[in-house]
Every structure is written in C-alpha cells, then in structure tokens.
Copies of this chain bind each other. A is one copy, B any other.
Amino acid sequence: MNNRLIGAAVVGQSGGPTAAINASLAGVIEACVGNTDTITKLYGMRNGIEGFLEERLVELNPLFTAEDGSADRKGALIPLMQTPASALGSCRKKLPKPAEDPGFYERLISLFRKYDIRYFFYIGGNDSMDTVAKLAEYLRTSDYEMRVMGVPKTIDNDLMGTDHTPGFGSAAKFIATEMQEIVRDCAVYTVKAVTIVEIMGRDAGWLTAAAALPNLVSGAGPDYVYLPEVPFDMDAFFGDVARAFEKHPNVVIAVSEGARFADGHYVGEGTQSGAVDVFGHKYLEGTAKTLENAVKAKFGCKVRSIELNLPQRCGAHIASARDLSEASLCGQQAVLSAIGGTTGAMIAMERFENRDFPDGYGCRYVPKEISGIANAVRVVPREWIVPENNNVTDECLTWILPLIQGEVQTVWKDGLPAHFVIA
C-alpha cells in the first residue's frame, strides 16, 4: 500500500493519573510489538512532551516482548494494566501555537528526525489532545512525515467527541463502592447526623453522578447529589437536608468540588471573613468542609465531611474490568489507525447496542479528527439532572452503569496489588 510508513514510534502520557491510563499504554505497546515490520521500535517518553524535549526516552520493546517475539501479556502487559497512575510519568505542558513559535516545533522535528520517529501517540485528556492537535497542525506545513494520534483519558469523562473516556468507569466504580460503604457506615447510629462527600470534577458532574449509582443497584446511596452543571442554592440545600431527616437520621450527601452558587462563586471558596491561619494564608476550605460548617450552624447536629481526594483517580484495586479493556483497545486502535494512514485524530468510543453482552452494551473505537475535540468540556445534560437540582435521573445512572461492570483479576504480592514499574 502506498501509505506505508516505516520507522520508530514514541508514546507519552500526560495530565492527571487514572486507574486506566496504563491500560491504554499497554494497548499501544501490544499493537506496536505486534507490528515491528512497520513500527520498528517503540520509545516511551518520560513525563510526556516535557521529557521528550530532554530526550528522556526508554525503549519499550525489550521490556514487553516475550521470548517468542510476541507481546508479553502475562509477565508485563497485564501487571502494567493493573498499575495506577502514569508508568511513564506525566507533565502539564501546554504547547505554543505553531504560528507563534515555529522554533519550538522545529526543535521537536529535529528530535523526531534524530530518532526516526514516524508515529507519535499521546494518551491524555483535554490538554493532551490540544498537544496532538497543534502538532498535527504544524506537521501539515512540514516536510517531515509523522503520524500523530491521541488516546483519550480522563476520570472526568468531559472530553468532546467520544461517548465516554477511559478512566471514568474505574473512578466511577471506586466512587460508587465507597459511597455504598459510607452509607452503610453512617447508618449504624440512631443519632441525627449528616455526612457530606466531596467528589472530583470541577466543571463536569459525571463522577458526582456516579456517586448515586448505589441508589440504582442496592438502594444504599446518598440522599442527594449536587453537580456543578446547575447552580447550588444554600437555602434549597437546607430544605433538602430537612426533608431527608424526615425519612431517616443519617443523611448522606455527595457534592462536586466544582459546585457553584448562581453568581458563579465556588461553594468551596468558603469563608468571607478573611480568616487566616498562623502562616497568614487565607483558608480555602473545600466544598464539603464549607457545607459541613453550614449544616452544623443550621441544624446543630453531628456533621462530617469526607473528600475522596486522590484515591478516586488511582483506585486500581477496584478498577472496572470493562474500563481497562476499553482503555487498552483505544490504545491498540490508535496504533492500527496510524499504521493505516490516519493522523491528527483521537480514538473515540461509540456505544452501540450489543446483544452479545447480557447488559446489551457494546462499544467500538473509531478515529476522529482532533481539531474539534480539544478545549471544550462535555457536561452532564440538563435533562439528566432532576428539576430540583439535587439529584440525577435514573436515565443518567443507567447510562453510567455499564461502564463500571466487571472486576479485574488482580495479581497480588504479599497482600497488596502487584504494580509494574518501567525502571
């Protein structure tokens, strides 16, 4: 075929860690190791494009090739898949616009030339897809032939152009499991108490919506969930809490870190009193902590706030098996599409009704032109949030549910999950 391009490839990870980003890396590696006639060598860049500029590269083929020349699934790829965070490290570098700093891109191209890199795979979220878009844009004006592909990743599920994102399902499964356990925990006493759980996602409420999944599955979910897509009203919130107390003494709330008042101020901006700590810093309380204080003042009852914090994005020990599998397939498809001639695209996920699965869920992986994807945020549709702004609809939960299905057959070492380190 006339579009055959032979040379090395480089893969990088960028943005915040997830439980599935190494599964996408494993997918890229598996497809590259399986196609060494075209992709002669696969480099990993340490710390994304930042490390690439410093030529901090690691040859991945030797680490992931079995003795018979095939990809080493059992010894290396599967342990890599169950390792959270970015095994190659990450960065948060925003590239300049090609027209504004062509010198930057010339330096990149000289490095690509040096290592004969003809394929560039970048796994990440919004900023990373921006990197892919800009690099593809520059390459259209360059005589250096290289194919650039984005592999989606973000727990926030807020990327445009794809049904959902790898990493979201695992974070959703962690959050839903924790919520169910927290609700059980909070139910043991008869004393009135409110527990407020703060969940990641500053602009999109997908993860906060996932906190309500136990309501669909077991009934042991939070009384209310508050998403950043709709304005937060303190009086309405107090009314919600009061109504929940009429049903049971243990009220549990899930709230997005990005919950905002109608005037646009974050709930978590907290005190307006100008209070400072011993070091002179203004207190930034966080959303749950602010609501904890508000409920304490209003109801005088026991209140506890819980921030699920980093564990929700790196909870590989309770990853969704479907999520990891999909993440890997996105990585594989990026390689196969690039070999086939595609460039300047992200692998998008398209959901379809698949009667081969008991839950009727199917997903296919298709390259999508990158330019329309970066720098926009996909939020939870208004019609999936109830009119009272304090919960999501069953339709929303039914949409999320397939993404948390399946459990990883974790490999353990001395009682802890075994992780794979790219030394």
Residue in contact with A281 in the complex, picked from B92, B297, B306, B310, CB distance below 8 Å: B297
Q: Name the residue of chain B whose CB is nearest to the CB of A304.
A: B310
**Beta-carbon contact of B311 and A187 below 8 Å:** no
**Beta-carbon contact of A405 and B401 below 8 Å:** no
Q: A188-B17, A314-B182 are in contact. Are A270 and B275 (CB under 8 A)?
A: no
Q: Name the residue of chain B whose CB is nearest to the CB of A298.
A: B279
Q: Which residues of B contact A50 (CB under 8 A)?
A: 190
**Nearest 8 interchain pairs by C-beta:** A275-B275, A279-B297, A404-B415, A90-B188, A185-B314, A85-B184, A181-B314, A217-B414
Counting CB contacts under 8 A, is A276 at the interface?
yes
Residue in contact with A318 in the complex, picked from B13, B279, B314, B317, CB distance below 8 Å: B317
| A contacts with B, residue count (CB < 8 A) | 78
**Beta-carbon contact of B276 and A275 below 8 Å:** yes
Q: Which residues of B contact A412 (CB under 8 A)?
A: 407
Q: Which residues of B contact A195 (CB under 8 A)?
A: 310
Q: How far is the CB of A399 from chain B (nearest CB, A)?
A: 13
Counting CB contacts under 8 A, is A277 at the interface?
yes
**How many Å lie between the Cα of A310 and that of B309 in the bound state?**
13
**Beta-carbon contact of B296 and A285 below 8 Å:** no
Counting CB contacts under 8 A, is A47 at the interface?
yes
**Beta-carbon contact of B188 and A85 below 8 Å:** yes
Partner-binding segment picked from A57-65, A170-178, A239-247, A370-378: A170-178
Q: Which residues of B contact A187 (CB under 8 A)?
A: 85, 89
Q: How far is the CB of A311 from chain B (nearest CB, A)?
A: 5
Q: Which residues of B contact A182 (CB under 8 A)?
A: 310-311, 314
